[in-house]
Amino acid sequence: MSSQQRTVIIFKSESESTDLYAETLLGHNFRPLFVPTLSFGYKNLVELRAKLQTPDKYAGIIFTSPRCVEAVCEALQLQPLPGGWKLLHNYAVGEVTHNLALSSLQQLFTHGKQTGNARNLAEYIVDTFDGSRDLPLLLPCGNLATDTLLSKLVENGFCVDACEVYETKCSPQLAECMERALKAENIEFLAFFSPSGVNCANEYFKAHNISLDNWKLVAIGPSTRRALESQGLKVFCTAERPTVEHLVKVLLNPQESRERLLRDRAAATADTA
């Protein structure tokens, strides 16, 4: 390893996007180390399967994470997704979730991948939806899902059928992987991808009396930033969206991220004044 490489510990389970993250970060002279913070267990799949068999009763489906797509695949038990869903209004948060729906659900196309988080997706749906609001949107979700998207849609006259289809827990590999990662050289950044990931990682640091003041904390998205701040932790910079391009952008130019946050907070204060 070059002595000039800066190590980034990424609190994210390895997935199809891991190689892309590693290649892109290495190309900018960052050394990525992945630490899985979360594990997932499916639930209510029989109920979900029944809903998936009746696309005529829905206006569309919303995927807020890759786990939601995976839960649908599990519920279908290797059977194809009924074709009627392709004619509906379908949405996904982020490119990873969008691409997973395309590849695993018979090329199911989803809108909104550019929104990056649930709040922005809700606003996108409200602004662009041109179908009937008499039928509900199906929302498979996890046990730790916030009601940001659901509340925004309901406030704007949408019906939403939320179905809890997976549980999020701290990864049993977290301690072992964390101990190994913290032995690396030139650790400069800790990058967090979700509020639940923040909670699990911080439990480890507290249990081992490890201060995070020695590193620069990077949040992926505003909800993750708020989770870090609620723990009394100082956020160095925030990536707008959960992509490696946005992560590299703030690692290379953190000042732009901080200036954007100050502008957003000033605008929010002005709106409530």
**Res 264 pLDDT > 50:** yes
Q: Which percentage of the chain shows pLDDT scores above 70?
A: 93
Residues 6+ apart with CB under 8 A from 233: 202, 212, 217
Is it the case that residue 262 has pLDDT exceeding 80?
A: no
Q: Is the pLDDT of residue 263 over 80?
A: no
Distance CA 154, CA 252 (A): 39
Sheet containing strand 6-11, edge to edge, reads 30-34, 6-11, 187-192, 216-220, 235-239
Count of C-beta atoms within a 10 Å radius of residue 15 = 14
- Across the range 208-235, mean pLDDT stands at 94
pLDDT tens digits for range 126-149: 999 998 899 999 999 998 777 889
Mean pLDDT, the chain, rounded, equals 91
Distances (CA, A) of 30 to 54, 205, 212: 48, 23, 20
Q: How many whole angstroms separate alpha carbon 97 and alpha carbon 67? A: 8
Is the model's pLDDT at 267 over the cut of 70?
no
Per-residue pLDDT tens for 88-106?
999 999 888 999 999 999 9
Is the pLDDT assigned to residue 163 strictly greater than 60? Answer: yes
Cα–Cα distance for residue pair 187/214, rounded to 1 Å: 9
Across 95-123, average pLDDT: 93
Please count the other Cβ atoms lying within 10 Å of the Cβ belonging to residue 166: 22
Confidence (pLDDT) at 2: 47
Write down the residue that tokens 């059928």 correspond to: 161
Q: How far apart are CA 221 and CA 224, in angstroms?
A: 6
Supply the pLDDT for residue 11.
95
257 pLDDT above the threshold of 50: yes
265, pLDDT greater than 90: no
Look at residue 1 in the predicted model and tell me its pLDDT. Answer: 44
Q: What CA–CA distance (Å, rounded) separates 232 from 219?
A: 14
| Separation of alpha carbons 17 and 244, rounded Å | 9
Angstrom distances, CA of residue 126 to CA of 26, 119, 155, 166? 39, 11, 10, 26
**Average pLDDT of the segment spanning 235-258:** 88
Strands 60-63 and 91-92: parallel
Helix (H) or strand (E) holding 216: strand 216-220
Q: Which domains does the chain have, with CATH numbers?
A: 6-37+172-272 (3.40.50.10090), 40-169 (3.40.50.10090)
* Confidence (pLDDT) at 243: 84
pLDDT, tens digit (0-9, with 9 covering 90-100), for 26-71: 999 999 999 999 998 999 999 999 999 999 999 999 999 899 999 9
Q: What is the pLDDT of residue 266?
A: 66
Tens-digit pLDDT profile for residues 178-212: 999 999 999 999 999 989 999 999 999 999 999 99
